[in-house]
Structures are given as C-alpha cells and as structure tokens.
Chains A and B, each alone.
Chain A
Amino acid sequence: MRLIALEEHYRLPSLESSEAVLAFQRDAGFSSDSPMGRRMAKLSELGEQRLDDMDAAGIDMQVLSHSHPTPAEFPPDEGVELARAANDLAARAVAAHPDRFVAFATLPMSAPQAAADELERSVSELGFRGALVNGHTDGRFFDDRSLWPVLERAQRLDVPIYLHPVEPPEAVRRAYYEGLPGPAGKMLSAAGWGWHVDTGMHVLRMVLGGVFDEFPRLQLIVGHMGEALPFMLARSSQILRPALDKPLEQYVEEHLHFTTSGMFTYPPFLCLLLVVGADRVMFAVDYPYSDNEEGRAFMLGAPISEADKEKIAYGNAERLLRIGAHAGG
C-alpha cells in the first residue's frame, strides 16, 4: 500500500551546532551516542540515507518540515534569513526527488508579516503544500491577532497549517516541570507530556478566539493522534458550549485534520477514528525521532477496512495536499 508520511523532519546543517540544539540535547540527556542522539543525527540529511530509510520501510513519500529550533526562536531579521534558507534547502530536495518529497514551509513567526510573505513564496515559487508552525510564538497563540496575517495568507493560498508542539513558555516550565530528578522534568515538559497537552489546548484557544470564524476556509493539521483532543472532545465541547456559536465538533469537522505522528498504538488511534472519522486522519511517522518501520507496521496492521486504510495511508493526504492525481487541482 502506498504510504505518504505527513510529519517528517529535517534541519538546516548550520543549526546542528547552535546553542538551541546543544541545550536541548544536554537538558534532555540526548548525547550523540544515545539511541535518540543517533536518530537526530539524520535530521540534516535530505538525500540517499533518508531515501534508504524510507525504502526499507516502504514509505513512498515524506512531507518534509523543519525541526527544532524554528526561525521563530531567533530575532526577526535572523529568523527571516533562516526560514528562507531552510525552505530553499527543502525545495532542493523536492526538486531532486519530486516523486519522494513534498514540503511544508517553516516560517519566521516572530515577524508575522514576513512569515506570511515567506509562506506565499514557499507555496507559489517553491511549490510547498502549506506550513508547519511550532506552537506559541513568544507566548502568543494563534488566537492573537498579531499572528493572523499568516492564517489569512494560508486561507488565501488554500494551504493547511500544521500545528506542531514546542517547549512551553519559561514561566510555565518553572511552575509545572521543575524539581524532578535528572532530565525527567525536561522530557515531561516536551514529548513526554507537555508538548501534547499544550498543543491540544492551543487548538481550543484558536476555536475560542474566533480564528475559524474569521477564516472560514482555514484548514489545520494536528499530529500525535490529535494531541489528546479526541479523548477530551465530548467533555470539552460540553463545557465550552456556552462560549461558542456552534458545537466544538462542528469546528473539528470543518477545519481539523489529524496525523498518527509518533503514536503507533491502536487504543488512541481507534479513539481518534471513532471521534473524527476516517476522512480526517492521515499517516505520519515523525522521522527521524520515530521509526519508519514501526509506523508502517502500525498502519498496515490497523484493524480497519482496506478502504479506510487507503484513505489514511495516502488518500486523504493526496487530496488535502494536492499530490499525485490531485496535483494542480
């Protein structure tokens, strides 16, 4: 079965020795000879090694996106330069292997107008399929109007935004994640918990802040099986009903898509499917942090119909991102 993986990462080689990367590796205990350290060493490669890893697991296509650190973490001028460089690098990989790679843009979110322009350049000139944005920008979430130029442009260009997790604001980290042994607090604030609930909460903020009322055609992709939103949706909807003009579920049906990135077990997958349906779920691995083989085995072994499996493995992605038969449509 054809497999398109939606949340697959790379990194500008020039950032490998940046303080942001070194600090993360230090705080999280990821030395370069640890298993995760060896995986992360693959981030800056966009050629044969990556294609070999894809071939070994039967991944036909990766949708590339730039990993941590994002241009948003740098001063605006520097961020704009980094975003252009990162997007140009991905564009070269796509040009070299157009049947194996497409890409999401990375954006200098700390300069929202420039970020909107970079999104337009990436889509119109480089052929990118949308943008991946890492959570909050200096503590501002997407309900903050200062960030709306990016959403306005995404809607105008008719491309989705992939909302990816990021470290919590520093004061949140201090309140919630300090005082634990070793790297435990750091991991708990990140992929071990905090990333995911903060991203789920961010989606709710977007709904409550009127983002989808302002941009009625905007499409948002959320990874990690929906960042726990499917689990909480009925309760959140019930609690938030007085604050909304229409039910939370309706925003999900009109604006949200979900991927399997980094989560390869069936209980959350089935919960997601039962809540949102097979048309809104797409396969993703989260390469190189997660394992291509494990992702493939999970996808092919899913206890669902072949028809639904084909939607999730590639069909929904082809439609949403205009790949293959849907190109140019």
Chain B
Amino acid sequence: MAEVRAITIEEHFWTEDLSRVAAPEIKASPLDELLLDLGERRLAEMDANAIDVQVIGHTVPAAQGLRGADAIRLTRQANDALAVAVRSHPTRFAGWATLPTDDAHAAVEELERAVGELGFVGAMVNSTLGTNGVFLDDPQFDPLFAALERLDVPLYLHPGFPPPVLRELLYSDLPEPSCLSLAAGAWGWHSEVALHLLRLVLAGVFERYPNLRVVIGHGGEMLPFMLRRIDDFLAPERGTGLQDVPSAYLLRNVWITTSAMTALPPVMCALQVFGVDRVLFSVDYPYTPIADCRAMLDALPISPADKAKVAVGNAAALLGLDAWSSSGKPR
C-alpha cells in the first residue's frame, strides 16, 4: 500500500455549461461524469490512493476558444463552481483559475478575482495557439505576466489541441484514431507546450518578469531530455539577445509535474536535470488512472526525504498550501 501521502496538482474538472459549449464533441466521453464530479466520487478515489489534496483546473479547452462576453461569463461561472467545491473541502481541494485568454485584459481581471476573492493558487492555461491563434509571448499578454508576478502565483501551462494548420500538415492522413491521438497525448500536445515555454524564454518574458513562476506537466514535456541540446543551439552567442542560455531561465522559473507519467525513466531524467526541488507528483485525473501514477511514485528510486518533497513538500511550498509542512506531514 502507498507509503507517502501526496498532493497532486494537475487534476481536472469541467462544468456542464462550459463543456457543452466548448467541447461538445468530447462531451460524450465516459469521462464526462468524472469531470463533472467535485465531491464524493473524486474524494473516494483520492482516499483509495492516499492523495490528500488535488489542485484542480478546468480541462481543455475551457473557454479559450470562445470569444467576447460568453467566454468571460462561462469562465467566471466555471471558477465560481470550483470555488464552491474548494470551500466545501478546504483541506482536500485547491483551485487553478481558468482564464478567458481571447481577451487579455479580461484574463487579467479574472485572475485577480480568482486569486483575490476565490483564493485560487494560480492559473491554468491550455496552451493558446490552437484556440486563440497566438502564443503567450505575444505582447498583449505582458499584463497577465505582470499580474501573476504581482499576485505571486504560478501559471500552469497545460497542453491544448494544435492549430488547424498543424493538424493538417503533421497530423493528418493516418487511419483514425491515430491523427487525433498523435496531435494530442501521444505527441503534439507535449511538443507544443515545450515549444510554447521555449518561446516565452526566447521572447525575454523571464527577463522582463524574473519572478514569474511557470509549471509544466508530463515530466517536463520532453524539455529535460533535450535541455543541453537546446542550450547548445540557443546560447547568447547565437544571437538570441538573451543574457543567458535557456536552461538558466527554465531552472530558475519553471517547475515540473509528473502528470500522466507512469514510467520511471523520464521521471528520473527530469529529476537529474531539474533537481528534486522542482519536480512535483501529479496524476492528470481523470485521464490517467491514479493507481498507475501512485505506483510510479512508490517505485521511484530516491531517498524518503526526496520522495516527500516530490509527493508533498514541493507543491506545498510552490502553491502556499499552508496546512502542509515541507516534511510532507500535516501540521
């Protein structure tokens, strides 16, 4: 049975209204019920796998593909619904704000409301290019980074479906369901998040906002594996205009979760490259079985002290979950 208690921080839900508008084609999935539940069913699964806290964010695509007042209204409703669940179970749930990224100004306002009034721990953005047509390095999002820095909360940069042009060029002409899988969880989601983060680095976002904190999932979206290569070819002497190599920013401003990663080798790679203080256990509920992730954590060949950091301590420190000490035990 599980030995260490755990906090998991890339866990998902959706609201009836937003999912019906934003993702009707995946609404029919058997996961619908699990995503809608923010109560007993979820808590029972957490209990069965010694998960003490889930940090929950609205699943892809949220309202990021919607425009105007509808996007803002549905986003607020989703955050309000999550806040109700967090208030009902304050020791078991915490919340990521979802943001109406089509309107950068409204996104800042909703972030301020979600953190200031609802007590959320940060924001989860599902990439952006696929829905809104731009990456977050676009200057319109500078106020969002300023707000994240000012509020001292992290941004969870989560995958989203690639834009139509990528779907057409890289992920078409294969027997279904291969195209969709390849564009999403088998590859495209992950390579795009890493690309997105590298664009933020190269656009100087972390030089302009040195205290900005970003979290990425899936063991670091291949970046730990490729990091030295990235440094070799994107060093300042290549004319990037940055003060330092990309890893200098990634190792200072970025945290990695193990969401959906059930195999040890990539997690070991992430630990070796980013260090134990920057790797956080997560599940990606309800898309990945909690028990499979739990088994990975239990088998991870690191010291008990380091495992307590990965399981609980790092998340508590990163997100300011005050009920949890860095030793991994409740106060």
Contact = CB atoms under 8 A, between A and B. Distances in A.
B26 interface: no
Given A233-B263, A268-B225, A270-B265, A182 B239 contact: yes
A64 interface: no
B108 to A, nearest CB: 21
Given A208-B174, A232-B190, A240-B186, A267 B224 contact: yes
B165 A231 contact: no
A268 B202 contact: no
Given A184-B234, A240-B186, 14 more contacts: A169-B169, A171-B165, A175-B129, A176-B195, A180-B199, A181-B241, A182-B241, A196-B226, A209-B178, A231-B224, A242-B177, A265-B228, A270-B265, A274-B268
B264 interface: yes
A18 B185 CA distance: 40
A183 B186 CA distance: 30
Contacts of A232: 186-187, 190, 222, 266
A143 B174 contact: yes
A136 B95 CA distance: 43
A265 B182 CA distance: 28
A243 B269 contact: no
Interface in A28-84: 28-29, 34-35
Interface in B210-269: 218-219, 222, 224-226, 228-230, 232-234, 237-241, 260-266, 268-269
A226 to B, nearest CB: 9
Interface stretch (A92-100, A106-114, A197-205): A197-205
Contacts of B185: 235-236, 239
A234 B261 contact: yes
A268 B226 contact: yes
B286 to A, nearest CB: 15
Interface in B169-196: 169-170, 173-175, 177-178, 181-182, 184-188, 190-192, 194-195
B97 interface: no
A9 to B, nearest CB: 16
Contacts of B177: 242-243
Interface residues of A, number: 63
Interface residues of B, number: 58
A239 B194 CA distance: 19
B186 to A, nearest CB: 4
Main SS class of interface, A:
helix
B170 A271 contact: no
A235 B229 contact: no
B152 interface: no
A176 B166 contact: yes
Given A228-B222, A233-B263, A239-B186, A187 B229 contact: no
Contact of A235 (B170, B178, B225, B260): B260
Given A184-B241, A231-B224, A271 B265 contact: yes
Contacts of B187: 197, 200-201, 204, 232, 236
Contact of A196 (B138, B181, B184, B229): B229
A271 B224 CA distance: 10
A172 interface: yes
Contacts of A166: none
A302 interface: no
Contacts of B222: 197, 228, 231-232
Nearest to A189: B195
A305 to B, nearest CB: 18
B62 to A, nearest CB: 21
B311 interface: no
B240 A184 contact: yes
A35 B181 contact: no
A193 interface: yes
Give the 9 A-B residue pairs with the shortest CB-CB distance, closest first: A234-B263, A197-B191, A192-B233, A267-B272, A274-B265, A239-B186, A231-B225, A271-B269, A208-B178
